[in-house]
Chains A and B, each alone.
Chain A
Amino acid sequence: MAKSLRCYMCSDLHAANRTYRKLLNAVKNNVYEAQVVLIAGDLTGKAIVPIIAQGDGRYAATFLDRNYMIESGTELEKLKESISDIGYYPYVTDRDGVKALQSDPAQMHELFRHKMIERVGEWVALAEERIGKSGVQFYMMPGNDDDRGVDEMIARSSYVVNPVGKTIDLNEFHEMISFDFANHTPWHTPREWDEEEYYEHVKASASGLKNVHNAVFMIHVPPYDSGIDTAPELDKTMRPKVTMGDVLRIPVGSTGVRKAIQELQPLVTVHGHVHEAGGQSKIGRTTCFNAGSEANQGILRGFVFDLGKDKLERAFRVQG
């Protein structure tokens, strides 16, 4: 009888250094006994914290609603670490630099791009250093929020694999195909497809699989109305709609992805994208996972699942 394949999946780490280091330590110490690690997209952060040189050797910064005046190099490094730990990017500059960024969107965009690529590069290097010889398959997929430049950083790695566009043999029984895009979001992020386009992409990739019913699909966006895609409904100003103090919630997953899963019926699909809707659900015979995300709070959420020869043997949610 074939031994099952232990997989661990998480998602939406959003540049949170502390959570990512937890993931690497979990692999290094074999905490989840996983042979395969899947990161289902969204590697990059959403905010830059400017640390402003005051001209007298001190630096000012506002971080998590607190204003800081940094006195020394050690303090500066500590603050940068704290900012990076929750998934923001520290940026040391001066008052003129801040003004220039505020007045020039292109410069701001380029700074974000640089920071995102730099952080993913650091993550790839750290993975190589800490778990490169562990024998664990480590798949790091970008998501809709991630600049295209991060793909290149992952591609340079001798250990970390970006599975997008490839058919991966996880073992002799299970293949995996991966999709980093989302359906359209209100934020117009870098990787978005129309629903029908998404469906066609998944269907085309799946046509090359030896046995689709035994395959794993890693798709950043969860299927529509699956219970693992429920998010606050937003108004035109991108604020959650609230009625009598209660936030309205709607399914935001992809109808194209749902249609593909319903038709193709892979063994397992793993998703991210909707942080607050972590959980698992079934679409026909397919088990769908969304680990959810609290990465910016320092919590690593994930699912452990064991793939038997032709079935999902067990699955459970973990957090560390």
Chain B
Amino acid sequence: MEKASTPSGLFVRQASGLVRDVSMANALFFNISAFVGTAIGWAVAFYALGTEWQGLGISAFAWMALLTGIFCYFLGMIFASLTTAMPRSGGDYVFTSRIISPFLGWIESWTLVGSALTIIGFEIIVASHNVQLTAILLGVAFPGSVFSNAPNWLQDNASKAIVGIIILAVIFGISILRTRTFHKVVTGLTIFAIVSVAISFFGAFFISPDAVNHALQGAIGTSSTQITSAASKAGFAIGTPDFSFNPGLIGLAGLVSVVLFQFIGFQFSSYIAGEVKGNVRRSIMFAVIGALIFAVFMNSLYQDVLGNHFGFQLTNAWGYLYWIQGTAPLHNLPPYTPLLATAVYPGAWPLWLIVSVGNTVLNVLLCPVYAVFLSRIVLAWSLDRQVPEWFSVVNERTNAPLRVIILAILLGAVFFVLTFFGFSLASTTFFGILLAGLTWIMPGINAILIPYRRPDLYQLTNNTRRFLGLPRLVWSGIIWLIFIIPVYAAAFVYPVVQGLHSQGGTYLTLSTSNSSGISWALIFILVGIVVYFVMRLVNTSRGINVKMIYQELPPD
């Protein structure tokens, strides 16, 4: 059938029935608010997790953000196509369980849930930092006020716990809102955060590295020179702006993995696809690609403009001391551009306070958004009888699976509390990333297999054109896997193999301070396997044939 140029219309009669209620804009803001690493105020801190090189005036981090963005476009295409064929909430779980196997879908989503819970715990700690940094900013703007002592706040577990509980209460309060109000709050606060991004981005053009150097000593009691010198002594070597960038595969993969960590969340609207209204493919594409463009901007142009105007060497050195050494200024807080800008122009503090609050809002907002996204995965499990029906009970007031939402926040809080008992942030993060492995890889495999294992669903993807003899969706899967498998292997599998090789059994110690997190990850996976088979037995004993629940029904 060829395309024609003469539209011939559609006759519609009046009949009842509308489906789905999450708008395209909701889905976009949902994705943006789910970003793990979109730190408006301390974006520059992430340079030090990669490499400090600049080429053509653009940082290695920004180059990698652009590269990762290109590959993530194919991941976005995969998610949009799969959600078109399976337009229901649950994301990866639904895709893999239908295309490959229920067990694999379960393990993939179980590990994703574990990973997401660690991220909630991680974000509560980051939120504590952000609250303190905002107070320090006010202390710089108003010397001699109660905020002047803010750098010394949160130095003991009791005060950290109090702030953590307040943050948890805010997260909890947002999470248990009615679905309608929840989306209003997420959309409104995300718009506020985007406004603060604009203020920060354009405000940076009024700042220069020299101005920061001059203002720093008076504002926080240490100079740029002292910071870069401390970092150099600790082994930090600033790069030179040339083309000698040669980090090797492992270094490159490590850098890309940090960028990917920053990008996590851009595809999360596909997990609430069951609630997206209208043309699901178009809405998810808009939300995923829109959020991806935002992520690329935040991790390239935005980050570089801030880095160059606040001082590339300073922000790198400070970031290095924060992430690697734990000896950064202000009792080890990250480089915070709203604070530095206030030090340069104390009179502009209201603008930079908005940026700081926007930064904290986006950070805190991630937690309720994650709780909702997790609840939809668990809802999908429950509908498939992979977990007890208790989880799928939709609360009449909130119109959402409230029990799971509350559970997700509580479990995220557990990871936060564990840090008081020596559970390291590095361990938590590595643990989370290890667990997320299948989530990164399976979409590519699903894209490759769907035309052959589930041709009926493939026909529904609305993406059935071919290129060089293969379906375009298969090409998307291949391209994504070519990118993600080496990255994951080099950035996460390689360190594990190295750790086991060099440390042997010690590497697997179940200590809370063990930064590998690998044993925790293995235990979590084992628990998942046990839950799967226990539920299978329970279902069998109740006379429920689980295979029936998602049995393929050929139309002909």
16 contacts between A and B (CB under 8 A): A21-B555, A48-B12, A75-B1, A112-B13, A227-B396, A240-B18, A245-B183, A247-B22, A247-B23, A274-B17, A298-B456, A314-B542, A316-B548, A316-B549, A317-B549, A320-B550
Tell me the smallest distance from the CB of A180 to a CB of chain B, in Å.
13
Tell me the smallest distance from the CB of A147 to a CB of chain B, in Å.
10
Q: What residues of chain B lie closer than 8 Å to A287, measured between beta carbons?
A: none
* Chain A residue, CB-CB nearest to B20: A276
The stretch of A24-32, A131-139, A148-156, A165-173 in contact with B is A24-32
Beta-carbon contacts under 8 Å, B1-47 to A: 1-23, 25-26, 29
Interface residue ranges, A against B (CB under 8 Å): 12, 14, 18-19, 21-23, 25-26, 31-33, 42, 44, 46-52, 60-62, 66-71, 75, 78-79, 85, 88, 91, 98, 101, 108-109, 111-112, 144-145, 182, 185-189, 225, 227, 230-232, 234, 240, 242-249, 273-276, 279, 293-294, 297-298, 300, 304, 306, 313-314, 316-320
Asked if A108 and B20 make an inter-chain contact with CB atoms under 8 angstroms apart, the answer reads no
Asked if A67 and B6 make an inter-chain contact with CB atoms under 8 angstroms apart, the answer reads yes
Q: What residues of chain A lie closer than 8 Å to B530, measured between beta carbons?
A: none
Asked if B16 and A185 make an inter-chain contact with CB atoms under 8 angstroms apart, the answer reads yes
Asked if A31 and B553 make an inter-chain contact with CB atoms under 8 angstroms apart, the answer reads yes
CA of A183 to CA of B429 in the docked complex: distance in angstroms?
A: 54
Number of interface residues of B (CB under 8 A): 54
Chain A's interface: helix, strand, loop or mixed, by majority? mixed
Give B243-260 as 1s and 0s: 1 = Cβ < 8 Å from A's Cβ atoms. 000000000000000000
B242 interface residue per 8 A CB criterion? no
CA of A182 to CA of B20 in the docked complex: distance in angstroms?
A: 21
B26 touches which one: A19, A68, A246 (CB < 8 A)?
A: A246
* Chain A residue, CB-CB nearest to B549: A318
CA of A313 to CA of B548 in the docked complex: distance in angstroms?
A: 17
Given A244-B187, A246-B184, A294-B19; A69-B3 close (CB under 8 Å): yes
Give B404-433 as 1s and 0s: 1 = Cβ < 8 Å from A's Cβ atoms. 000000000000000000000000000000
Asked if A275 and B19 make an inter-chain contact with CB atoms under 8 angstroms apart, the answer reads yes
B523 interface residue per 8 A CB criterion? no
CA of A23 to CA of B556 in the docked complex: distance in angstroms?
A: 10
CA of A21 to CA of B556 in the docked complex: distance in angstroms?
A: 7
Given A62-B7, A62-B10; A70-B87 close (CB under 8 Å): no
Given A66-B3, A67-B5, A245-B23; A319-B550 close (CB under 8 Å): yes
B10 touches which one: A47, A225, A244, A304 (CB < 8 A)?
A: A47
Tell me the smallest distance from the CB of B391 to a CB of chain A, in Å.
14
Q: What residues of chain B lie closer than 8 Å to A293, measured between beta carbons?
A: 17, 19
B15 touches which one: A67, A145, A234 (CB < 8 A)?
A: A145
Asked if A230 and B399 make an inter-chain contact with CB atoms under 8 angstroms apart, the answer reads yes
Give B521-556 as 1s and 0s: 1 = Cβ < 8 Å from A's Cβ atoms. 000000000000000000000111000111111111
